[in-house]
Amino acid sequence: MTEQITLRAPDDWHIHLRDGAALARTVGDAARQFHRAIVMPNLVPPVTTAEKALAYRERIRAQIPAGRAFEPLMVIYLTDKTDAEVIRQAHAAGVIAAKLYPAGATTNSDSGVTDIANIYPALEEMQSCGMKLLLHGEVTTSDIDIFDREQVFIEKTLSRLVDDFPTLKIVFEHITTTNAAEFVQNAREGVAATITAHHLLYNRNHMLVGGIRPHFYCLPILKRGDHQTALIEAATSGSPKFFLGTDSAPHAHHKKEHECGCAGCYTAYSAIELYAEAFEREGKLDKLEGFASNFGPDFYGLPRNEDTITLVKQPWTLPEGLDMGGEKLIPLAAGETLSWKLV
Ligand SMILES: NC(=O)N[C@@H](CC(=O)O)C(=O)O
Ligand SMILES: [Zn+2]
Ligand SMILES: [Zn+2]
Interatomic CA distance for residues 175 and 163, integer angstroms: 20
Q: What is the percent of the chain where pLDDT is above 70?
A: 99
Q: Indicate yes or no: pTM above 0.90.
A: yes
Q: Is 35 annotated as a binding residue?
A: no
- The full length of the chain comes to 343
Contact 42, 109 (CB under 8 A): yes
Cβ-based neighbours of 51, under 8 Å, separated by 6 or more: 93
DSSP state of 262: P
Across the range 88-115, mean pLDDT stands at 96
Q: Is the pLDDT of residue 232 over 90?
A: yes
Q: 198 C-alpha to center of ligand 1: Å?
A: 13
Q: What is the pLDDT of residues 126-177, one digit of tens each?
A: 999 999 999 999 999 999 999 999 999 999 999 999 999 999 999 999 999 9
Q: What is the pLDDT of residue 315?
A: 97
Q: What is the pLDDT of residues 245-295, one digit of tens each?
A: 999 999 999 999 999 999 999 999 999 999 999 999 999 999 999 999 999
Q: Is the pLDDT of residue 2 over 90?
A: no
Mean pLDDT of the chain: 97
Cβ-based neighbours of 36, under 8 Å, separated by 6 or more: 11, 12, 70, 71, 72, 73, 297, 302, 305
Closest approach atom of ligand 1 to CA 108: 11
Residue nearest atom 11 in ligand 1 by C-alpha distance: 107
Q: What is the pLDDT of residue 1?
A: 58
Categorize the per-residue pLDDT at 99 as very low, low, confident or very high, splitting at 50, 70 and 90. very high
Q: What is the percent of the chain where pLDDT is above 90?
A: 99
CA distances from 118 to 129, 131, 305 (A): 19, 18, 37
Predicted interface score ipTM higher than 0.95: yes
Q: What is the pLDDT of residue 30?
A: 98
Q: What is the pLDDT of residues 314-341, one digit of tens each?
A: 999 999 999 999 999 999 999 999 999 9
CA distances from 208 to 40, 84, 223, 309 (A): 28, 44, 11, 35
Measured from the alpha carbon of residue 42, the closest ligand is 1
Closest CA to 47 of 113, 99, 84: 99
Closest approach atom of ligand 1 to CA 217: 3
Q: What is the pLDDT of residue 172?
A: 98
| Ligand 1 shell residues, CB under 6 Å | 16, 42, 106-107, 136, 218-219, 247, 249, 263-264
Q: What is the pLDDT of residue 71?
A: 98
For the chain, give percent helix, strand, coil, nearest 5.
40, 20, 40
